[in-house]
Amino acid sequence: MSTQQQEQQSEPDEPETQEVPADQEMSGLTSPQQQRLQRKDSARVDRERAAETEDFEEDSVHLKVFRYDPEVEAKQEPRFDDFHVPFTKGMTVLDALIYARDEFDSSLTFRHSCRQAVCGSDAFFVNGRQRLGCKTQISALEQPVRVEPLPHQEVVKDLVVEMEHFYEQMHAVEPYFQQEDLPDGDLEEQRQTRENREKIKMSSRCIWCAACMSSCNIAAGDNQYLGPAAINKAYKFAMDDREDEEIKEHRLRILEQEHGVWRCQTQFSCTVVCPKDIPLTEHIQELKREAVKKNLKFW
């Protein structure tokens, strides 16, 4: 029994008698216990680093962004660049693009302004559909998030498209209020009925983003077609009961031309992509009916 007790008492002291390699002595290690503790600490640090890397990958957004620059020879061939952006709650496509531009590539070019879905400047083709960048939540999209310029429009650079033709079509319908018979008093208002206001309320929400025009197959094939946005703008004024009947007939003559409302094939693509939920197709069909009634004669 005494021999066993002596052996048991000597066992804990055995590690202290082990020889320490020269390289470990140089590193300041004096016992196997300290070596074991250091290995344990090193393993913990490695696990923490791996966890941090894993969390970053899980909480990042993979963007595939269209790139094109006609002024730089090396960038004249269209391509897609990949960006991995740290995800934050509530992040929009525009937020991710701004981060990619500010942190990774300052040459990335796109339009944006108010960031409140009012200015209409940041319409993109995101995952195969026209969307407002500032309104589209990253969390609602499948990754990688593919961001392209609006289709059927000339690309100026990266995600920026030429908007001049769109603005010309909008101005072609004379998008301003016209009234010849003004109130007698200088301070008297031109009153509008509540019913009429409700009728045209949705048409007044247009922000000139051109998403509907980009989605329209007719506009893609007919460069002279006024397009859903311009026709909707004309609807707002043509259906306003404060304008004169002669002015209304003048607007309808603009809209019933060859490249006006009759070119619409009722595909509803413009209504689907409108970020302000304007019933564009319904407005176009109502203007068709108004044009027909104007030409009806009873005798």
pLDDT number for residue 176 = 85
pLDDT above 70 (res 236): yes
- Say if residue 51's pLDDT is above 60: no
Question: Span 213-238, mean pLDDT?
Answer: 94
Q: What is the pLDDT of residue 7?
A: 44
Task: Check residue 67 and give its pLDDT.
Answer: 97
Question: Which pLDDT score is estimated for 247?
Answer: 87
Instruction: Kindly tell me if the per-residue pLDDT of 64 is higher than 90.
Output: yes
Q: Three-class SS string for the chain?
A: CHHHHHHHHHCCCCHHHCCCCHHHHHCCCCCHHHHHHHHHHHHHHHHHHHHHHHHHHHCEEEEEEEECCCCCHHHCCCEEEEEEEECCCCCEHHHHHHHHHHHCCCCCCCCCCCCCCCCCCCEEEECCEEEECCCCEHHHCCCCEEEECCCCCCEEECCEECCHHHHHHHHHCCCCCCCCCCCCCCCCCCCCCHHHHHHHCHHHHCCCCCHHHHHCHHHHHCCCCCCHHHHHHHHHHHCCCCCCHHHHHHHHHHHCCCCCHHHCCCCCHHHHHCCCCCCHHHHHHHHHHHHHHHHCCCC
Model confidence at 162: pLDDT above 50: yes
Q: What local confidence, expressed as pLDDT, does residue 100 receive?
A: 96
Average pLDDT of 125-140? 96
Q: Tell me what pLDDT residue 3 has.
A: 44
Q: Kindly report the average pLDDT of the chain as a whole number.
A: 85
22: confidence class by pLDDT, cuts 50, 70, 90 = very low
Domains and CATH numbers, the chain: 58-160 (3.10.20.30), 164-180+195-295 (1.10.1060.10)
Q: What percent of the chain has pLDDT over 70?
A: 79
Give me the pLDDT at residue 48, please. Answer: 60
Return the pLDDT at 293.
85
- pLDDT of residue 181 exceeding 60, the answer is yes
- The arithmetic mean of pLDDT across residues 227-246, rounded, is 92
Before 144, cis peptide (omega within 30)? yes
User: How much is the pLDDT for 208?
Assistant: 96
| Residue 294 confidence class, pLDDT cut points 50, 70, 90 | confident
Flag the least confident range among 18-32, 88-102, 108-122, 221-235: 18-32
Instruction: Please report which confidence band the pLDDT of residue 224 belongs to, taking 50, 70 and 90 as the band edges.
Output: very high
Q: How confident is the model at residue 86 (pLDDT cuts 50, 70, 90)?
A: very high
Residue 299: pLDDT band by 50, 70, 90 thresholds?
low
pLDDT band at 74 (very low <50, low <70, confident <90, very high): confident
Given this model, what pLDDT does residue 53 score? 46
Per-residue confidence (pLDDT) for residue 297, from 0 to 100: 61
pLDDT band at 217 (very low <50, low <70, confident <90, very high): very high
